[in-house]
Chain A
Amino acid sequence: QVQLVESGGGVVQPGRSLTLSCAASGFTFSSYAMHWVRQAPGQGLEWVTVISSDGLKKYYADSVRGRFTISRDNTKNTLYLHMNSLKAQDTAFYYCARELISIVGTGFDYWGQGNLVTVSS
């Protein structure tokens, strides 16, 4: 079955860096675009970034562009989110999500369990 398992979260000081990982299994990882979505505690969902299936195309939300970098290793079936210059407002649960492939539309059909990143001194 499809599984997405995030790791790498924790407490980090403002201005520091952190890298999240998302290990995928149960599907052909290299065929799917993958996303990161975050959710501050008690708040709504915020899309963060996407990477194409081959890793060549990447897009970012304005709130993280220039500070966060998405990458993937299709040989290891793993998605990454490298976060630099972290701010208190980056505190959130971070989810990786798979983008559905369909001719009638799209959505995020599988999500990880979420990984909490807390930016605090």
Chain B
Amino acid sequence: DIVLTQSPGTLSLSPGERATLSCRASQSLSSTYLAWYQQKPGQSPRLLIYGASTRATGIPDRFSGSGSGTAFTLTISRLEPEDFAVYYCQQFGRSPRVFPFGPGTKVDIK
């Protein structure tokens, strides 16, 4: 099975700064099957990016996704106060049909 690794574990930044979050897969996967989520304390996760680079409905354009193969990136161009949260990547497996999440990256205020 493909294992997802996210780095860094915690990213300490100030509002207005650029955030770059990494998600690495243990085997190459199609970019079609890579998604990113944001989760704030006490809330359900929210889909940000699917297909590695397509923003979900209502997601601001400061969020962007990129990558292919085994290396994927979520970039937040300029951090807003509401962006401080935990971010997860997720793989949509075709065979076997499993949908693991990465361990998450916490973006907190410096």
Q: Show the binding face of A for B, using Cβ within 8 Å.
A: 35, 37, 44-47, 50, 57, 59, 61, 95, 100, 102, 104-109, 111-114
Q: Are B56 and A109 in contact (CB under 8 A)?
A: yes
* Chain B interface category by residue count: 20 to 34
Question: What total of A-B pairs shows CB separation below 8 Å?
Answer: 80
Instruction: Specify which chain A residues have a CB less than 8 angstroms from the CB of B39 in the assembled complex.
Output: 45
Residues of chain B at the chain A interface (Cβ within 8 Å):
31-35, 37, 39, 44-47, 49-52, 54, 56-57, 86, 88, 90, 92, 96-104
* CB nearest neighbor in A for B86: A44
24 contacts between A and B (CB under 8 A): A37-B101, A44-B88, A45-B37, A45-B88, A45-B90, A46-B101, A57-B97, A95-B44, A102-B51, A105-B31, A105-B51, A105-B52, A105-B54, A105-B92, A106-B33, A107-B35, A107-B56, A107-B92, A108-B47, A109-B47, A109-B56, A111-B45, A111-B46, A112-B44
